[in-house]
Chain A
Amino acid sequence: MKIIIKTIQLSLIVLLSSCATIISGSRQTVGITSEPSSAKVYINEIEIGKTPIEKKLKRNQEYQLIVKLDGYKSYETKLVKKFNAWYIGNVLIGGTIGLIIDPITGAMFKLKPEEIDGNLKSRTTLKTKSGNIYVNISMEIDPTWNKVGQLEKSE
């Protein structure tokens, strides 16, 4: 009986020795949607596509996010790395290997949009699903643009 218990304990330590890496992985999916859609999305000044879009980003880096759409003000925020609570699993179970591996893979972090005084930037909503984040941006009309007309579908 003692051997079985010890085997289970050892297995748990080995399995959970890199808690955050196993549970979260080294990359995180970041979904970006906007209202209206089809806005150009730039991460670190690199155009990655138009909204709605999803991108898998490394957890151990911080990113600058810019969303641009003609007729609307540019939206700008930072994706910052926050502490991933799964990392505590290493401390609780005593997985010393995990304490080293999780920072190397970046799994000890999770990406979140920057907050000022505990609040997200205005016109931003955030959803978290299965450890991934989905950012929705309501674009603000640029008053310097004047509407001069509208194209309509011909019949």
Chain B
Amino acid sequence: MQLIMRKLEKHIHMRKMNKILILITVIGITSCSPKISSNFTNPQSKLSINEKVALLDIEHILPKNIVKVGELRFQDSGFTTDCSFNSLMNQARNEARINGANIVKVIDKKKPNLWSTCYRLKIELYKYTGDVSSLPQYKLKLD
């Protein structure tokens, strides 16, 4: 009787372990991207890949005659691994093109620290009618 009870307990324990492992695997697979919140107040027509988008960091100044398209916010979801500054700026540029913006301006930047290994950014997107490649801007790098 005791032997059966022990076997049953072991079986239940194994099933619990399997469930935990599957849960961790699912979390691992699905939760590696940063949390992106967006608010597009004035979306424009989509830009093609050949149209340049300027990436302006905190220190870069916005030009005049621009129209605000929307805002983006990148946060750490807790399991985020793809959250370097270059990766986030590249994702912001893609979002900008989809919504017709050609300027990505960082307005708040939190660097990785003790509490998070991720960059956390607040970004504003603008449409500029001038030549964006003439603006002083951040040059994207490959990590």
Interface segment out of the listed A1-9, A91-99, A135-143 = A91-99
Once the chains bind, are B28 and A102 in contact (CB under 8 Å)? yes
Interchain nearest-CB distance for A129 vs B (Å): 22
A128 within 8 A of B: no
B5 within 8 A of A: no
B81 within 8 A of A: yes
Once the chains bind, are B21 and A76 in contact (CB under 8 Å)? no
B24 within 8 A of A: yes
A53 within 8 A of B: no
Interface of B, helix, strand, loop or mixed by DSSP: helix
B85 within 8 A of A: no
Once the chains bind, are A99 and B21 in contact (CB under 8 Å)? yes
Could you tell me the distance between the alpha carbons of A106 and B28 in the complex, rounded to whole angstroms? 10
Interface of A, helix, strand, loop or mixed by DSSP: mixed
Interchain nearest-CB distance for B107 vs A (Å): 23
Once the chains bind, are B82 and A60 in contact (CB under 8 Å)? yes
* Interface residues of A, count at CB 8 A: 25
Contact of B140 among A45, A91, A94, A103 (CB under 8 A): A45
Once the chains bind, are B142 and A104 in contact (CB under 8 Å)? no
Once the chains bind, are A44 and B81 in contact (CB under 8 Å)? no
Complex contacts, B22 vs chain A, CB 8 Å: 91
Q: How large is the interface on B (under 10, 10 to 19, 20 to 34, 35 or more residues)?
A: 20 to 34
Contact of B32 among A48, A60, A94, A96 (CB under 8 A): A60
Contact flag A99-B24 (CB < 8 Å), given A60-B32, A83-B29: yes
Complex contacts, B24 vs chain A, CB 8 Å: 96, 99-100
Complex contacts, B21 vs chain A, CB 8 Å: 91, 94, 96, 99
- Which residues A58-76 have CB closer than 8 A to chain B? 58, 60-61, 64, 66, 76
Complex contacts, A64 vs chain B, CB 8 Å: 49
A57 within 8 A of B: yes
Measured CB to CB, the nearest residue on chain B to A57 is B142
Interchain nearest-CB distance for B3 vs A (Å): 20
Chain A: residues with CB nearer than 8 A to chain B?
43-46, 48, 55, 57-58, 60-61, 64, 66, 76, 83, 87, 91, 94, 96, 99-100, 102-104, 106, 108
Q: Which 9 A-B pairs have the closest CB atoms?
A: A103-B28, A99-B24, A60-B82, A60-B81, A44-B90, A91-B21, A61-B82, A61-B87, A58-B143
